Chains A and B, each alone.
Chain A
C-alpha cells in the first residue's frame, strides 16, 4: 500500500474534508502563502483560495476567537498554532469560551472547532518544547486527540473535523517525518517505528475514544501516546528477546478515553506502566493512573508505574532535555520495576 509520512497524512485528511465540506476553513500564521511552519497546509491556499485559507497576523487570542465565532455560525474552522506552546496566548478563548459555550447555552449552541499544532521537545528551549495536552484534559467541554502514526493521524483528523465540539489535535514534531510535502523538516528520533505508514487514499474516520493495541502481549500493559508510544514499542521489542511479553496501548484520544480497552488489557496482564512526555505533576500519566485505580484496582498485582517528564520547564542544553524527557531506558526500568514488585 501507499506509504505516507504523518505530516502528509494529516494534510491529506484536511484536504479531503475541505473538498467534501465547503464549511471547513483554515486560520493560522503562515498557513497560506508559506504553507505552514511545518508544511502541513502546503498548497492549500492554491486549491481552496483565500476565503477558506486565512493567513492571520500573529494574534492567537484573536484568531482563536474568530474560529469560535465562525464555528457558532455554521463553519468548521481548523485553527493552527505554529507551536502548541503559543495556544497559551489564547487560553481565555479556548478555556472560558470555546469549551463552555455548549453548557452555557443549555445545549443549544455547538462549537465544531479543531485546534491543532505540534508539540514536543526538540532542543528549542523552554518556550518551544512543552507538552500541553493535560491543560485541556482539565478543561471539560474539550476533546483531546493524540495521533501517533500516519494511518491514525489521517483517520483522527477527519473525525476531529467532523466532531461538533472543540477538539485539540496534538501533533508531535518528531513524528512528522522527513517526507512532508514541500520538503519537510529532517526531524527524527531513533526510536520512531515505521508503523501505520500505510495510508489508504480514500477518506476514512477513526472514531474518537477508540484505543488501539499497537502490540499484543501477556505480562505487562504499557500505555503511551505520541513519541512515547514509539519508545514504548522499542522497549517492548527489546524485552521480547528476554521473554517478557508487553502489550502496548495507544489511547489515540485522551478525552474521550477508551477505558474498556485499557481495562481488558490490564485484566490480562495485571501490570501497568503509563508513559507521557508532559510533566509528571497533575499530568496525563497522573490522570491515567487514577483512572486505572478507579476501574482496575483489583486486577493489579503491583502499583501502576508512572513515567513522565520531570517537573521543570524544559532546559535548552541537550543533555538536560534528555534527562527531563522520558527515554527508552526510563520506560524499560519502569517495566522491570512493575514486574519485580
Chain B
C-alpha cells in the first residue's frame, strides 16, 4: 500500500507548454469527471440500466496519454473506460446514449458501459475481461507495421491486469518484433480489494519491462503533463521503429470498484489524502500559477464542460430505445 508520503500534490508545471493544448486537456478531464459524476446520480435514481466503473481521480492518465497521440492511432480500453473514450474524442452524446441503451449509442446500445467505444475514433474496443485488450492493441501495432501506416497502438489496463499471463505473452512479442506499441498500466493501486503489494511479487510494476528488454518507467499519473511527456517520447520511439514502451502511471481510484461498491477495505485517511491530490485541481493550480489562464477563464471552461454533459443527457433521453430485435443485425458481418 502506498503511504501518504508517495502522494504528490504540487501544481502541474505548465511553463513552456502550449496554451491550447493545456486548456484542451483541462476541458477533457472535466468532461470525463462530469460524465461520471452525472452517471452516478443517474444510477442512484435507477434511470440507467446495467453497471459502471468510475475513473474519478484517474482522468489525467487517459487525457495525458491520448493528447500525445495522433487521431488515427489506436487504443484499447477496459471495463473502466469512460475517460478513455472522452479523451479519444468519442462524442459525449453518443457515449451517453449508449449508457441509456439507445439506438443512437456509440455501440447501438449493444455494448453498454463496459464496452463503450467508437471504432471510428481509433478505439478498437473496451474489453471487460481483465488483460484481454493487451494482445489486441499489440495486434494493431503489428498491423500498423505490416501496413506501413506509421500508426501507434496503445493499450490501457489496470495494475491487476499485469498478473494475467496474456500480459507476458503480448509484451514479449511486441519487444521481440519491435512493434509500435505503448502499454499504459493505470496503477490506481487496487484491483477490486487487492492492493498491488498483495498481488504482485515485485510491486514496482514498471520494472517488469526489463524482462522484455523494453523501457519501463513510472510517472506521476495525476500530473497530466508528466503522462503526456512520457507518452510522447514512447510514441516517438515507436514510430521510429525502436519498439514498445511500458509506462506505469501512478494514480488512485477515488470511488469504489463499481457503481455502489463501498470500498471498505481502504483506510479512509488514504482516500482523503488522494482526494487532495486531484489531477484536475493540480492542473488548475498549474494553469493559474503559470499565468496561462485566470480563474475566470477556468470557470468558463468548467461551465462549458458541465453544459456539455447536461446536453448529452438531454439528448440521450430523447433518443429512441433499442428495439428488442436490433441485435439480430449485428451478430456476424453478413447480417
Contact = CB atoms under 8 A, between A and B. Distances in A.
A58 B327 contact: no
Contacts of B127: 127
Given A34-B193, A57-B194, A85 B326 contact: no
Contact of B50 (A30, A127, A316): A316
A58 B111 contact: no
Contacts, number: 121
Contacts of B163: 57-59, 62
B180 interface: no
A58 B101 CA distance: 30
Given A30-B192, A124-B50, A316-B50, A58 B131 contact: yes
Nearest to A82: B192
Contacts of B193: 30, 33-34
Interface in A95-137: 123-128
A267 interface: no
Interface stretch (B1-9, B220-228, B289-297, B316-324): B316-324
Given A61-B165, A123-B49, A125-B114, A317 B326 contact: yes
B323 A311 contact: no
SS class of chain A's interface: helix, strand, loop or mixed?
A: loop
A313 interface: yes
A319 B101 contact: yes
Given A58-B131, A320-B109, A125 B164 contact: no
A75 interface: no
A305 to B, nearest CB: 22
Interface in B57-105: 101
A125 B200 CA distance: 29
Most buried by B among A57, A127, A323: A57
Nearest to A314: B327
B324 to A, nearest CB: 4
A311 B323 CA distance: 17
Scoring A34, A56, A58 by chain B CB atoms within 10 A of each residue's CB, the highest score goes to A58
B51 interface: yes
A323 B192 contact: no
Contact of A320 (B128, B192, B200, B322): B322
A316 B324 contact: no
A37 to B, nearest CB: 7
Given A58-B131, A316-B109, A320-B110, A126 B115 contact: yes
Given A58-B164, A126-B115, A323-B324, 5 more contacts: A33-B194, A89-B164, A125-B50, A127-B114, A317-B321
Interface of A: 29-30, 33-34, 37, 55-62, 85-86, 88-89, 123-128, 310-313, 315-320, 322-324
A-B pairs, top 3 by smallest CB distance, nearest first, are A316-B112, A57-B163, A317-B322
24 contacts: A29-B191, A29-B192, A30-B193, A33-B194, A55-B194, A57-B191, A58-B161, A86-B130, A124-B112, A124-B114, A125-B128, A126-B110, A310-B327, A311-B331, A312-B331, A317-B322, A319-B321, A319-B323, A319-B324, A322-B324, A323-B324, A323-B325, A323-B327, A324-B327
